[in-house]
Structure 1
Amino acid sequence: MSKLDANERWKSKMLLTDHVEQYERKEEEKTTGSKMLTNDEREMIRDLILLPHIDTMVGKSLKEIEHSGNVLKRAYLMAGQAIQRRIMRDTYQLQKELKQRNIKFFADEQDEFISYHKIFCRGYQERFGLTRDVMRTEISLRLTKYTAELGEALRNILNNVIKK
């Protein structure tokens, strides 16, 4: 409901048909969504592009830890596997959300410094590029976030055990 609908004075005014159509189009866009990508959707696509890279990095680290003679090897492996499960869960949720929004993307080409993807969004096509520096930064931030979440979960578990 708009401000004009609630205002009784506007009901008696005459509107040009162009204005009525424009008003109805705006209302329709609000309910169905626009056809162009939103910033949230771009972030979702970016994350979905980065998550397989993060999973690969964590997997390589886990293989290195398996072959090491570290005393805390088992704890590191469990932490890495928990992070990998979280990555898989996030990947699945993002894929599901993008599918519901009718958004698909494919790797297009890769230059030395930029990775391009084609995005098909509700009938429109767009090209999305990520530089290596941005990818490294975002991967680092995401890994830090996963590690912090795991640390917080462990802290909560330990606090509950100590209280008992």
Structure 2
Amino acid sequence: MSKLDGNERWKTKMLLTDHVDQYDQKNKDQGAGSKMLTNDEREMIRDLILLPHIDTMVGKSMRDLDHSSSILKRAFVLAGESIQRRIMQDTYRLQKELKQRNVRFIADEQDEFVIYHKVFCRGYQDRFGMTRDVMRTEISLRLTKYTAELGDTLKEHLK
């Protein structure tokens, strides 16, 4: 807070718009530099934790298809590869975004029902935990989303 904040006398003085913009930008940057995790960052961390699990599940499903005698085996494998590409794109995007925000995390410990990660955010350390049930639900939702996106892409190409 500067000496001019709260001083009503300075409101009537003429200021260049550049100075006002600089002052507003400085205050905005200080607010964005908060050491606490935002909800968006928590969601990014959650997604970045879940994406490797989803990739593993899709890979296992594709390996199971290799031993299948289904006539649509090749189509299912191509769909799985497409979903894996999308998972990798999302992983790289999230890693880049978190790195820009100076947020990183490492696996911490596993309880019977909860998996914890240590989160380092702009000099602040936090603990992020997810239960296995939440992970299963989120993985299911994310796989449904990827499958729906793939279906939409196929429908667009068929038109």
| Equivalent residue number for residue 18 of structure 1 | none
Give 2:10's aligned amino acid.
Answer: K
Return closer, same or farther for 1:57/1:28 CA change in 2, 3 Å cut-off: same
| Equivalent residue number for residue 60 of structure 1 | 60
Superposed, 1:11-160 pairs within 5 Å as: 11=10, 28=26, 30-32=28-30, 33=32, 34-159=34-159
- Taking only the aligned residue pairs, the percentage that are identical comes to 70
| Residue ranges of structure 2 left out of the alignment (5+ in a row) | 13-22
d(CA) in 2 for partners of 1:10, 1:48 = 51
User: Secondary structure of 2:99's partner?
Assistant: helix
d(CA) in 1 for partners of 2:75, 2:11 = 73
User: Secondary structure of 1:157's partner?
Assistant: helix
d(CA) in 2 for partners of 1:95, 1:156 = 30
d(CA) in 1 for partners of 2:27, 2:39 = 16
- Give the TM-score of the pair, scaled to structure 1: 0.81
d(CA) in 2 for partners of 1:12, 1:132 = 56
| Residue ranges of structure 1 left out of the alignment (5+ in a row) | 14-23, 160-164
Shift of 1:68: 0.4
Shift of 1:30: 2.1
Return closer, same or farther for 1:141/1:29 CA change in 2, 3 Å cut-off: farther
- Give the TM-score of the pair, scaled to structure 2: 0.84
Return closer, same or farther for 1:29/1:50 CA change in 2, 3 Å cut-off: farther
- Across the aligned residues of Structure 1 and Structure 2, the Cα RMSD in angstroms comes to 2.1
Shift of 1:11: 1.6
1:103-139 C-alpha deviation (Å, 9 max, x unpaired): 0100000011000000000000000000001000000
User: Secondary structure of 2:37's partner?
Assistant: coil
Give 2:29's aligned amino acid.
Answer: T
1:70-93 C-alpha deviation (Å, 9 max, x unpaired): 010000000000000000000000
User: Secondary structure of 1:69's partner?
Assistant: coil
